[in-house]
A and B are shown apart, each in its own frame.
Chain A
Amino acid sequence: MKKRVIAALLTASMAVGLLAGCGSSGGDSGGESKEAGKQGKEASLRFIDVNPSPERQKYYEGVFQKFEEETGISVAYESVPWDDAADKLTVLGTSGQLPDVITTHPSWLGQFTEADWIMPVDDYVEEHGDEFVEAVKNINWAQEKEKYGHVYSIPDGFMVKGIFYRKDWVEEIGYEIPTGKDWTYDAYFDLIKALTDKEKKRYGNSFRGARGAFDPLLTYLQTFTGGYTYDEEGNFLLNSPECVEALEKWCEIYKDGYVPEDSVNWGFVEMVDNFTGGLTGTVSNDSEVAKACEEKMDPSQWGVLPMPVSTVDGKLLNSAGSPYSYTISKTSEYPEEALALVDFLVRPENNIEYCKMGGLIPIKNDVGDDETYGENGPYAPFLAQLNDPNFTVPPTYGAFNYTDLHQDMFHTELQKYLLGQQSAEDVLNHIGDELTARMKQYLADNEGAEVEKPKTMQPAAE
C-alpha cells in the first residue's frame, strides 16, 4: 500500500513537471496578462518572436515601450528559438493559447489559416494598402488572397537581391552603366569585363563556384523561360539550347580570367570578403550584404544596381521574399489593439530601424530622406526594384526537398564544367534529369499540386 501511494505521488509530481515544461513562458505569462486585462480594463498584448536574438529582443522591447507610451497598451515580449518555433506554435494553436501577435514564417500560413488560428486583415489592407510598396500588394497579398481567400499577414520587410559594385572604380575608368531596359545580363557581363584590371589586382566580379553557385545562375537561366523552372508536367526547362549557351556565357567570365581563379571554391563569405576587401568589382547577392559594405567600406566606394533584366522579355527576375510576417491570433482578446501594434511595428520609422538590423528593405514607400533607404541612400535601388512593374519573383527548384542537391550536386556539376571536365550541356542535363525526376515524383505524391509559377506584379497576366 505504502509503495502504491509513493508511486502515485511520484507519477503525479512527474505529470506536473511535464505540464510545467510544456507551458513554459508562453503559457504562463499568457494567463497572467489575460487576468490583468480583465481586472484592470487596460489592454495588454502578448507578442511572440520566432527568430530571437539579443539584438531583435532589444529592438522589440524598445518599440513596445514606445507603443505603450503612445497608447497605454503594454506588450509582453515572448520568444521561442527558431528550431522549436513550428512545434511550439502548433501546441499553442491547438490549445487556443496563441499570443496576440505572431511573427510568422511564410510557409506556416497554410497551416495557420486551415486551422483557423489567425484573423484576416482585409479591412486594414483596404484602408492602408496604398502606403505599402507595390511588391507587397501585388505579390504578397495577391498571393495570400488567391491561396487562402483573404489577406492574413503584414510582412516585416523584404530581402531583395541586387548587384553591389565599386562606384569609385566605375568613375575611375569613366564607364557608363546602362539603365532600365538596357541593363541586361549582357550589360552586366560587359561591366565585369570593363572593371577587370589585373595589373592593379582588380577582378570584375566575386564569382560563386562553391555551395550555392547554382542559385544566381538559376535566376539568369530563368530569364530565358519567362521565369519558369519546369513546364506544367514537371519537366525541367532550363536545359534548352539557349540555356546551355547562357551557362557558357555565365562561365566565360571565369574561364577567361575576369574573376579570380580561386573563386571556383568561393561561397558567400569569400564573395563578400573579397568585394569589401577590394579584390573584386561587383558581387550579386542579398540586400544584407550592404551591412558588410557599410561596415568595411567608405560610402564613396560602393553602390547598388538593380538585378539585370531579361534580354528576352524585359522582366526583372529577383528571388526576393519577406523573411517573416505579422499575423494576429483569432483567440486574441484585443484584436483591435493587436492590429494597432502591427501597424505601429510597420510604421516607417520603426520598420526602417527593424530593416537596418537585418539588411532588409522596408515595406512602405514613405522612407523620407533616410540616409540608407531614401532617394540618395545606398539602398534606394532595392526599394525601386520593389516598385518596378517588371519585378518578378521566380520559383526556385520546387516544393520538394533538394537540400542534398544544393549541398553537393549543383555546384559540383558546375565546377566540373569550370575545370573543363564536362560540357555545359552535361551540367544542365545531369541537374535537369535529377530535378525532373523529383518534380514528377512530387506531383504524383501530392494530388492537386501544381508546378509553381513566377510571381509578377501584373496578376492579370498570370
Chain B
Amino acid sequence: MEKKRKREPWLFLLPVLVVLLLLFGYPLINSIVMAFQNYKLTAPNDIYFNGFENFKKLFGDPDGLMILKNSIIYVVISVAGQFLLGLTLALALKKQFKGRGLYQSIVFLPWAFSGFVVGLIFRWSFNGEYGVVNNLLMKLGIIDNNIAWLGTPGYSLAVVIIAMIWMGIPFFAIMILAALQSIPADVYEAADVDGCGTVRQFFQITLPYIKPTLITTVLLRTIWIFNSLDLVVIITDGGPANSSQTLPAYMYSKAFGSYDFGFAAALGVMLMIILGLYALIFLKVTKYDKAGDF
C-alpha cells in the first residue's frame, strides 16, 4: 500500500515524461551525437564519427568571430532597445486615459505578427531603390543619395536589429504593465504623503516591485532573440558576405543550405552551452531568488 502511494505521482506524470523524453530528450541527445559525426545529407552513405573535427572547423571558420560578434551585438542592442521602449510604453499605459484600450491594442499589434511578415515588411521598407525609408529620408533632406541598407555591411545588421526591436516591444510592455498594475496603490499614496518625488518613487517603489518580472522577461527575451533566426534569414539571409549573419542563422544555412548536419549540430551544441552559461550567470548576478524581497 505504502509502495503504491509512492508510485502514484509518477504514474500521473508518466504521460508528460514520455512526451518530454520523446520530443526533447531524443532530439537533444541525437544532435549532440551528430555534432561528433561527419553527417552530410548529400552523402547519406558516408556517415561516421569524426571526433572534434566539426568543432575544429567551427573555431577555424574565418567568419566565425565576426558571426559571434554579430550575435552579441544583435542580442544586446535588441534586448536593451525592447526593454527601454517597452518600459516606457508600459509606464505610459499605466494611467487611465480616454481611448486607452484602443491605443493599447494598436501598440501591441506587432507581437501578433509572424516573424515572416515582419521580415518582409522591413525588407521592402529598407529596399535600396524603392524603399519607403530612403524615400522619407530623402524628402526630409537627411540624405542625398539612396542608401543600400541591405547591401552594406553594418547597415544590414542594423535593419535586422530595428525590426527585432519593433517586433518585441509589446511583449516587454505587456509583461511590465501587468507587473505595474499589481503594485498596491496605497504604497504610492504613502510615499506622496511622505513627500517622495516621482523619480524617487520610480526607483524606490516601482522598480523593486517589478524586478522579478523584469528579470524573467529579460532572461526569456535574451534566449529567444539569441535563438531566433527568422528575421535574419528573411531580411538579409546573413548577407552581404556574412556581415549580418548570426549564430543560429548560420546554423540554419549550414543545415539546410549546405546540408552539413554534423557541422550545424556542433554549432547547436555551442549555442546551447553559451545560453546555459548565460542563464546561470544572469540568475546569479541578478539574485533572482531574492528579487522582490524587501
Note whether A and B form a binding pair: yes
Residues of B within 8 A of A404 (CB): 40, 42, 257-260
Interface size class of A (residues with CB under 8 A): 20 to 34
Instruction: Tell me whether B151 and A262 are in contact (CB under 8 A).
Output: yes
Residues of A within 8 A of B148 (CB): 260-262, 264
Residues of B within 8 A of A264 (CB): 148, 151, 239-240
Interface size class of B (residues with CB under 8 A): 20 to 34
Select one of A209, A279, A412, A418 contacting B129, CB under 8 A.
Answer: A279
Residues of B within 8 A of A403 (CB): 42, 258-259
Q: Could you tell me which residues of chain A, from 182 to 227, have a CB within 8 Å of some CB in chain B?
A: 201, 209-210
Task: Check: B127 CB closer than 8 A to any chain A CB.
Answer: yes
Q: Could you tell me which residues of chain A, from 261 to 307, have a CB within 8 Å of some CB in chain B?
A: 261-265, 274, 279
Residue in chain A with minimal CB distance to B43: A401
Instruction: Tell me whether A210 and B42 are in contact (CB under 8 A).
Output: no
Residues of B within 8 A of A274 (CB): 129
Instruction: Tell me whether A265 and B258 are in contact (CB under 8 A).
Output: no
Residues of B within 8 A of A262 (CB): 127-129, 148-151
Most chain A Cβ neighbours within 10 Å, of B40, B128, B241: B241
Instruction: Tell me whether A418 and B240 are in contact (CB under 8 A).
Output: yes
Task: Check: B153 CB closer than 8 A to any chain A CB.
Answer: yes
User: In the bound complex, what is the Cα–Cα distance between A263 and B148 (angstroms)?
Assistant: 9
User: In the bound complex, what is the Cα–Cα distance between A263 and B257 (angstroms)?
Assistant: 20
Instruction: Tell me whether B128 and A407 are in contact (CB under 8 A).
Output: no
Residues of A within 8 A of B259 (CB): 403-404
Task: Check: B253 CB closer than 8 A to any chain A CB.
Answer: yes
User: In the bound complex, what is the Cα–Cα distance between A415 and B245 (angstroms)?
Assistant: 14
Instruction: Tell me whether B258 and A408 are in contact (CB under 8 A).
Output: yes
Whole-angstrom distance from the CB of A88 to the nearest CB of chain B? 18
Instruction: Tell me whether A407 and B240 are in contact (CB under 8 A).
Output: no
Instruction: Tell me whether B237 and A265 are in contact (CB under 8 A).
Output: yes
Q: Mark A412-430, 1 if CB is under 8 A from B, else 0.
A: 1001101101000000000
Instruction: Tell me whether B260 and A416 are in contact (CB under 8 A).
Output: no
Task: Check: B216 CB closer than 8 A to any chain A CB.
Answer: no
Residue in chain B with minimal CB distance to A274: B129
Select one of A209, A210, A407 contacting B258, CB under 8 A.
Answer: A407
Select one of B43, B129, B241, B257 contacting A201, CB under 8 A.
Answer: B129
* Contact of A419 with B241 at beta-carbon distance under 8 Å, contacts A260-B128, A403-B42, A404-B42 already known: yes
Q: Mark A249-265, 1 if CB is under 8 A from B, else 0.
A: 00000000000111111
Residues of A within 8 A of B129 (CB): 201, 260, 262, 274, 279
| Further pairs besides A209-B151, A265-B237, A404-B258: 18, Cβ < 8 Å | A209-B239, A209-B240, A210-B240, A261-B146, A262-B151, A263-B151, A264-B239, A264-B240, A265-B151, A265-B156, A274-B129, A279-B129, A401-B42, A403-B42, A407-B253, A408-B254, A408-B257, A421-B241
Chain B residues within 8 Å of A, Cβ to Cβ: 40, 42-43, 63, 127-129, 146, 148-153, 156, 236-237, 239-243, 253-254, 257-260
